[in-house]
Amino acid sequence: MPELLLDVQGLETQFNTPDGIVYAVNGVSFSLKEGETLAVVGESGCGKSVTMLSVLRLIPSPPGKISAGKAIFRGEDLLRMSDDDIRGIRGAQIAMIFQDPMTSLNPVLTIGRQLEEPLALHMGMNKQQARERAAELLGMVGIPRAKDRLGDYPHQFSGGMRQRVMIAMALACNPQILIADEPTTALDVTIQAQIVELVKRLRDEIGMAIIWITHDLGIVAGLAKRVFVMYGGYIIEESPVDELYINPQHPYTLGLLGSLPRLDDFEYHRLVSIEGQPPVLYKKPTSCPFAPRCKYVVERCLNENPMLEKVAPDHRVACWIDPKTGRNRS
């Protein structure tokens, strides 16, 4: 059995704003095993990125604050570590690919220097060793003439090539966990497919665990083994990825899947749209956060926020109503 790598329990993160406190993450709990690929799905603003940035203590403070929770990595709580200790974890053992390849690289430093820095910092390499490893990493992610490109600046690379550089930087120290925050969002469809295939190949070669953050359920089908869906700062459904596609149990998940065009659908079906707007979380929800947009809503949904409950082996959902039957679950 693969060992448990990361165990997040009751994570809560909030931001102080001029309009009040925003409760961005509200008691999120999940785990990650060695070699596992976990997908985190949900629309913009649901708390996906903030959850993972909180785990790595990358939330700017102020205005952000991790107000509760634990993140146990190899027996130690990342949220209680000293600043020096957590810096030793970031990049070396848990690496992150950020969302926008166009702005994630420093425009005034060469690609080589940006790749060599973590190698010197975390691996103790000298300049020559770091240079050789940087060229090897660029070749690993499919950049031609890798050694010659080390002296180039980010503006000399295309968007897809910059994302490959970001992946190379994340993999520089052979991390145990790679967090990919919507790494294909700014890229065209063909480059998206290349990046996904690249990450899958590197995962199989290196054996790292992956957390893939996305708003697109179509991407995770061939990538992840397990997926959880977030809404309003909560996990509202967690399932093996195949089970989620076959038997979605939350109305929000049904809406996400219904908005995807299907190649195997030979009849005309209008794509589903989810009416309304995501919640603005100036108050921690005491009712179901999806209730104002849900067509299955009942009075209980407006008064109580459901907890994640098991509906099948390894499948949990936070909803009072079974959307397939319209009946109360309890």
With a pLDDT cut of 70, the percent of the chain lying above it is 94
What average pLDDT does the segment 36-61 reach? 90
| 67 or 259, greater pLDDT | 67
pLDDT for 297: 86
- Whether the pLDDT of residue 34 is over 80: the answer is yes
Contacts for 239 with CB less than 8 Å, ≥ 6 apart: 226, 227, 228, 249, 312, 314, 315, 316
- Whether the pLDDT of residue 236 is over 90: the answer is yes
pLDDT for 239: 93
Q: What is the pTM of this model?
A: 0.88
Residue 36 and residue 250: Cα distance in Å, rounded? 24
pLDDT for 174: 81
Q: What is the pLDDT of residues 183-201, one digit of tens each?
A: 777 667 777 787 788 788 8
> Is the distance from CB of 92 to CB of 174 less than 8 angstroms?
no
Q: What is the mean pLDDT of the chain?
A: 86
With a pLDDT cut of 90, the percent of the chain lying above it is 25
pLDDT for 257: 84
pLDDT for 70: 93
Q: What is the pLDDT of residues 82-101, one digit of tens each?
A: 988 898 888 788 988 887 76
